Amino acid sequence: MADTKEALISELLVNEVHDACRRFIDNLGDQVKNQRDISTLANVICYIFEELTTFITNDSTDSLNKHLPLFFKLGIKIMNVDRQDVRAVLQDFLEKIGEKYIKI
């Protein structure tokens, strides 16, 4: 029962994070026009990828590990934002993925 509940919570969390990232990516199409929305979501995106980086650094469980390729792809799509804070967090996230899973 506990495993099922953890899996459900994990899936809900992943879906919410994915939705937030997709909204951010959608706004990147016209960064000048969507500057206010990008600024609002940038803090959320930074927090998400900071937590994912912490998760990767610590011993992670399979419940979130299986979603790392999705987060990796989202991070790549977010890289072209004009905000240094977001790019710095994404760089750290991608470096941790490389260190732990690609062994570079």
Q: Residues 88-103: what's their mean pLDDT?
A: 89
| Domain spans, the chain | 2-102
State residue 88's pLDDT score: 97
State residue 62's pLDDT score: 65
Asked whether the predicted pLDDT for residue 90 surpasses 90, the reply is yes
Task: Tell me the three-class secondary structure of the chain, residue by residue.
Answer: CHHHHHHHHHHHHHHHHHHHHHHHHHHHHHCCCCHHHHHHHHHHHHHHHHHHHHHHHCCCCHHHHCCHHHHHHHHHHHCCCCCHHHHHHHHHHHHHHHHHHHCC
Contacts of 88 (CB under 8 A, 6+ apart): none
Digit-coded pLDDT (tens) for 34-86: 999 999 999 999 999 999 898 887 766 666 778 888 999 999 999 989 899 99
State residue 59's pLDDT score: 64
State residue 61's pLDDT score: 61
Compute the C-alpha angle 12/27/29, nearest 5°: 130
State residue 16's pLDDT score: 92
Band the pLDDT of 5: cuts 50, 70, 90. confident
